[in-house]
Chain A
Amino acid sequence: EAGVAQSPRYKIIEKRQSVAFWCNPISGHATLYWYQQILGQGPKLLIQFQNNGVVDDSQLPKDRFSAERLKGVDSTLKIQPAKLEDSAVYLCASSLDIVSAYEQYFGPGTRLTVT
């Protein structure tokens, strides 16, 4: 069974530029999560989707971050414009459904460096 796929694996941009990350969850998983992991910290949930609907985006900085999951499968997270403090690893995870949210499977992450 294929795992959670993310791309790109690494990205370096200058502040005020925009960037987009892509995630393809495990086939059949209805719930998708985006986390931000700043160096030296644990992951922090940014947004959670159930199919193509948003369940929780309370910690998403909506002035610069946006995410979509239009067809309920893959998802894109965008930052526009980026700030230095956005440098982090962005992890995507998926679970079968919201009831089994405890069993989340994580992708390899995208490491973003903002200079």
Chain B
Amino acid sequence: AQKITQTQPGMFVQEKEAVTLDCTYDTSDQSYGLFWYKQPSSGEMIFLIYQGSYDEQNATEGRYSLNFQKARKSANLVISASQLGDSAMYFCAMREGIQGAQKLVFGQGTRLTINP
């Protein structure tokens, strides 16, 4: 069963607009973590933002914020004031497993294209 679902294969946004990338997850654990990574064409995975399941406030990192809705099991990434350099693949991931043997499970990704 898919644990991380990203329903948007591709998104096209005008430069300077805000964009929301969707992510839903499935877990029965009480303690878990959610991540967003950016993968430009160079191939490297770049960590963007992290949200712990017990964090009461939504995580923010510069232009990135995570809209965490625990009851709906969603963890959408919001990029404000998009830039041309934001064009890339974006992956949502969840940390699962027992402490000492945890791993990341990734979604299928969303390709974001910023148009000038």
Interface set of A (CB-CB < 8 Å, partner B): 33, 40-45, 48, 55-56, 89, 91, 93, 98-99, 101-109, 111
Q: Which residues of A contact B107 (CB under 8 A)?
A: 42
Q: Which chain B residue has the least Cβ–Cβ distance from A41? A: B108
Q: Contact check: which of A41, A56, A108 meets B103 at CB < 8 Å? A: A56
Number of interface residues of B (CB under 8 A): 26
B18 proximal to A (CB < 8 A):
no
Q: How far is the CB of A4 from chain B (nearest CB, A)?
A: 9
Chain B proximity of A8: nearest CB distance (Å): 13
Contacts of A105 in B (CB 8 A): 47
Cβ of B91 and Cβ of A42 under 8 Å apart? yes
Residues of B near any A CB (own CB < 8 A): 4, 33, 35, 37, 42-47, 50, 91, 93, 95, 97, 99-109
Is the pair A101, B102 in contact by a Cβ cutoff of 8 Å?
Answer: yes
Instruction: Known A-B contacts: A42-B106, A98-B101, A106-B46. Give 10 more (CB < 8 A).
Output: A42-B91, A43-B104, A45-B104, A101-B102, A101-B104, A103-B50, A104-B47, A106-B45, A108-B44, A111-B43
CA A98 to CA B107, docked complex, whole Å: 22
Residues of A within 8 A of B109 (CB): 40-42
- Give A43 to B108 CA distance when docked, in angstroms: 9
A40-B108, A44-B106, A102-B50 known; A55 and B100 CB under 8 Å? yes
State the CA gap A107–B93 with chains docked (Å): 17
Bound-state CA distance A55–B104 (Å) is 13
Q: Is the CB of A101 within 8 A of B91?
A: no
User: CB-nearest residue of chain A relative to B44?
Assistant: A108
CA distance A45 to B101 in the complex (A): 12
13 chain-A/chain-B pairs, Cβ below 8 angstroms: A42-B4, A42-B91, A42-B106, A43-B45, A45-B103, A48-B101, A56-B103, A98-B100, A98-B101, A101-B103, A101-B104, A102-B33, A107-B44
Taking a contact as CB atoms closer than 8 A, the residue among A89, A99, A104 that contacts B104 in the complex is A104
Q: How far is the CB of A26 from chain B (nearest CB, A)?
A: 13
Cα of A42 to Cα of B3 in the assembled complex, Å: 12
Contact between A91 and B45 (Cβ–Cβ < 8 Å)? yes
